[in-house]
Homo-oligomer: A and B are copies of this chain.
Amino acid sequence: MTYCVALRLHHGLVFMSDSRTNAGVDNFASTRKMFTFCTPGERTITIMTAGNLATTQAMISLLNERTSAADDRNLGILNQPTMFQVARLVGSTLREVISSSSVEGQQTADAFSASVIVGGQIKGGKPTVFLVYPEGNFIEVSDDTPFFQIGETKYGKPILVRAFEPDMATEDALKLLLVSFDSTIKSNLSVAPPFDISVYENDSFADKEISRVEADDPVFRTISSKWGEALKDALDGLPTYKI
């Protein structure tokens, strides 16, 4: 499994992904699931992937090849005029990879399935995030749905639902995400650090490196260990239910 989250804040976008990949519990490894495409001053795009690793790697490879190829059909991510067209390109590439892996005539693509979050900003447009389904179609963040999750989403959702605020500072958003990720890794072996982080400030169009939170990062370790105590204190403050 995998866990990736993208938040749309008022001042920018925040992406976080774990790095565990596994085929059964006795075959696991660490792999990057976050990828950036950038033309400094003009566009910054971040992609996160969940699902069949062969599918998502092939999709990223195809997107990379088409971006670097000197092709006058302009098929690459760096040539798309809008984020909507970027999402369409990602969706069609994803669908293409899945269908090429599926046995002819077979109707289900489950075994080769994958989901993708793609977000960023292109000059002239607003920063936005899309959740792309294996069928190639996609949905966009909105004020009502200001974040997307893919992969093992359930354990980490309640804290996002409760504590996310679109006007929170980047540091607070990262703290919130680390708690959400920590809740997930405490309950599911298929999600694990290191975590990759990409932060985009609106209208920056910057080529920032992906940051990495290692399992032994002291701040992450403190957040993880103190969160249990903080939750107990929070519970103490609530009224008691008597039967």
Q: Is A231 within 8 A of B228, CB to CB? A: no
Q: How large is the interface on A (under 10, 10 to 19, 20 to 34, 35 or more residues)?
A: 35 or more
Given A155-B154, A161-B187, are A233 and B231 also a contact pair (CB < 8 Å)?
Answer: no
Among B172, B197, B237, which residue has its beta carbon within 8 angstroms of that of A235? Answer: B172
Q: Is A199 within 8 A of B243, CB to CB? A: yes
Interface residue A70 (Cβ < 8 Å from any Cβ of B): no
| Interface 1/0 per residue, A164-181 and B, CB below 8 Å | 000000011011101100
Closest chain B CB from A228 CB (angstroms): 4
Given A162-B228, A234-B230, A234-B233, are A240 and B175 also a contact pair (CB < 8 Å)?
Answer: yes
CB within 8 Å of B: which residues of A? 154-159, 161-163, 171-172, 174-176, 178-179, 183-184, 186-187, 197, 199, 211, 213, 219-220, 222-223, 226-228, 230-235, 237-243
